[in-house]
Structures are given as structure tokens and as C-alpha cells.
Amino acid sequence: MVNSQKNDKEKLTAADWERGALELIAEQGVNAVAVESLARRMGITKGSFYWHFPNRQTLIEQALSRWLEHDERNLQILLDTITDPRERLIVFFRRSTQINQFTHDVYTALCFAPDHPLVEPVLAAVAERRTNYLSQAFRDLGMTDTAAEFRARLTYASYVGYLQLMQQEQAFEPENINFEPYLEHVIHTLIPTV
Amino acid sequence: MVNSQKNDKEKLTAADWERGALELIAEQGVNAVAVESLARRMGITKGSFYWHFPNRQTLIEQALSRWLEHDERNLQILLDTITDPRERLIVFFRRSTQINQFTHDVYTALCFAPDHPLVEPVLAAVAERRTNYLSQAFRDLGMTDTAAEFRARLTYASYVGYLQLMQQEQAFEPENINFEPYLEHVIHTLIPTV
DNA sequence: GCTTGTCAATACGCATGCGTATGGTGCTTT
DNA sequence: AAAGCACCATACGCATGCGTATTGACAAGC
């Protein structure tokens, strides 16, 4: 569960704190990132923290910035690997259901704090990247620009909503028997047939 | 903005506190419901609060319970008023875009705290009601039971996701020029043609 | 008119959380 | 070996927030 605890006499770096913060965000949300509790969790005191960071806000900023880059690379890998647009969309759906993927859990947590001033720009950036990704795929499948744009937004909304319902234990999870048929239905409904 | 302030010499009832709590939830989320700040907001001190309620948790419980009933009635009205299933679905979409509707804002706020022990059961109840509503409408349109069930879930997910994207300023709002065309697209994509 | 009940103000204790200040420990560098 | 630096511990001040305890204001009923 917590794999960022201090390995005994090892000294901590700023990156260690950022990783710890991201783990906390993934598990309990942005508001759960408190300096003292995070320090306890890492088996150290906050005296260390304030040596590495000027304040809590900077920690969160840098942690989110780190996550944003990580997420960027993930998407780029998809773009480089898969060329067929239909395949890209299907992969998008499948990936969105893989909870316990770390970067994915962080995103879900961020969605639950859209008002937070530090989270807002991150969400905006991610939303733009992903809708562009989707929009491009739909265009490649022969849709008009506006239709592709609309379908991308609808798809992204259903993706975000699925994440949310999953958190509420209100959606089919991959282990469920109905999951595959449901996914088939979604693909059939949202992806135009070639 | 704040319309639950004390009207001077008027005495407060438990219902007043519940209304105030719901307003706060709608505006700033469940976690923003703090006894002392809420009291200040209502132009009174917390001495009053702890006369009406044993603690903060009870306030939130009762406020949410009140909201749940209110939401129930809203849905029932729809069921009683509109008979055509296709029309019902379209109304569902249109209503979901009407922000600044009070009960609606509360629901959005609740979605942002799905882990909260008091919120969880409320979300579960609402999700079930609404997916049942959708599922029934899709069946009435001639879909098979399982297809209707899947389509209802997909529709509900896109609804929830739309709310979330709206909060992130990342969705077309009703004032936007593209809103109507977008809604047309959603209807065309998700509602089977008769 | 006096008591009683209802509602509210004030003051307190306790906990958590942020950020500062200051001192300590061990490794490095010279 | 002495000095300096990197990293951490401890103690403090301040704010917010929960819940309790005590007192006060004011109207209704007797």
C-alpha cells in the first residue's frame, strides 16, 4: 500500500516527497495532502519537509507537474504505437477501466477537486490533450470536423463519468461478467462502423 | 447568493440549518460544511446550532435526507408528466445542463465526495433511480433488456461526466453557440431512432 | 409577577494543520 | 582534526474546527 516509507537511514530527496504526495492524492485526494501526516507516513518529521520545500503549495504544484509530464508520455506512447484509429479508440476505452493504475488513480482524484486552484489547470490540460486525441481518431474514421469534435466530447464525458461511477461502486468493473458485453455495447454505440 | 441569512429577530429552526447546509454544499462541497462558519454565514453563533443538533454529522445526514426526498419528487413529476419515452430521454438531457438549479448543484457537489460515508448511500440511491428511469425509457423504445440496461449506464455515465466537465469549464454550456448542435449530436448518438 | 422553557452568546478544552526558529547529527572537505 | 554543509528533530505561535458548559434574553403559562 504505502511504498514510499523511509528505508531506514536513507535520506530523502524532493522527488521522494513528490512521490509520496502523489500516492496520497491517489488514495485520498488532494485535500489529504497534509505536511505533518505525510511526514509521519514517510517515517520522518516535517523538519525535513521544510528543508526541501518552502511550503505545502509548492509540493503539490511540483507533484502535479511531475504527474502531468508522466501522463503526457503515456499518451504519446499510444500515439506512437497504434496507427489504426479504431484501435486507438478501443484502447482508450480499455485503458480507462484499468483502475489501480497509478497515474489513473491520480487523475480520478483530481477530478474530485476541480475547484482547487492548483488542480484546475492540470485538469484543463489533460482534458484538452485527450479530447484532441479522440477528435483526431474520429476524424480519421471519416467523420466531419464538427461531428468528430462533438463525438470526442461525448466520449470524453462518458469516460469521466465512468470513472466517477466506478468510484461509487456503481459501474461494471473488469472482473464483472457483464463488463465485456457492456464494453462491446459502448464501442458499438460510440465508434462509427467502418 | 446567500439567502439563508437570519432575518433579524427571527428564530431559527432545524430546517433553517438544513437549508443553509445544503446551500453551502451546493456552493463549496460537503467538506465546507463547518459549524462555526455556517453559523457566521447565518448571522448567528454556534450556541444555537448545538441546541438544534447533537453534532455536525447529524446536520449533514438530515440535510442530505431532505435533499433526497426533494430529488425523488422531481423525478416523479417527470414520470407523471411525460409519457413518450423518447421525449423523456431528451428532457433528461436538457435538464442535466441546467446548472444553478439548486438540487442539481447539490448533486454535482456530492459527486465530488463519493468516499464520504454520509454521501455514499445517497449517491447510490440516486444512481439507481436515474438508471432505472433511463433503462425503462430505452426498453419502451424497443431495445432488449440488456441493451437498454447497457445504454442506460452509458447514458448515465455521460451525464455524470458532463456535469464534471461543466465544473471544469470544459463543456459547452447552454449559452454557447455550439450547445444546441452538440445536444442534437448526443441525442442522435444515444437515442435509437424510432 | 414568577417560573419555566426556548433559543442564543460566550468562553473553554482539545485536536489538527501550517509555517518558523533553533538546535542537533553525521558526512565531507580541507 | 576542524569547519562546513546537508538533512532532520523539536518546540513554538497561530489559525480553524469540533463539541461542552455556563450564562443570558425573552416569551408563554400559571
Tell me, what's the pLDDT at A58?
97
CB contact under 8 A, B124 and A171: no
Mean local confidence (pLDDT), A71-79: 90
- Whether the pLDDT of residue A99 is over 50: the answer is yes
What is the grid cell recorded at A45?
A: 518529521
Q: Which of B1, B91, B90, B178 is nearest to A146 (CA)?
A: B178
B127 and B121 Cβ atoms separated by less than 8 Å: no
Task: Estimate in Å the CA B36 to C1' D15 gap, whole number.
Answer: 14
Show the DSSP H helices in A34-55 as ranges. 35-41, 46-52
CB contact under 8 A, B168 and A124: yes
Mean local confidence (pLDDT), A149-174: 94
| pTM, entire model | 0.91
Residue B46 CB closer than 7 angstroms to strand D?
Answer: yes
Helix axes B179-190, A179-190, angle to 10 degrees: 130
Tell me, what's the pLDDT at A12?
83
Residue A45 CB closer than 7 angstroms to strand D?
Answer: yes
Q: CA triplet B85, B87, B91: central angle to 5 degrees?
A: 120
Q: Which of B20, B64, B14 is nearest to B42 (CA)?
A: B20
> Mean pLDDT of all residues in chain B?
91
CA A163 to chain centre: 10
Residue A112 binned pLDDT confidence (cut-offs 50, 70, 90): very high
Q: Which of B68, B81, B83, B92 is nearest to B155 (CA)?
A: B92
Q: For chain B, what percent of residues have pLDDT higher than 70?
A: 94
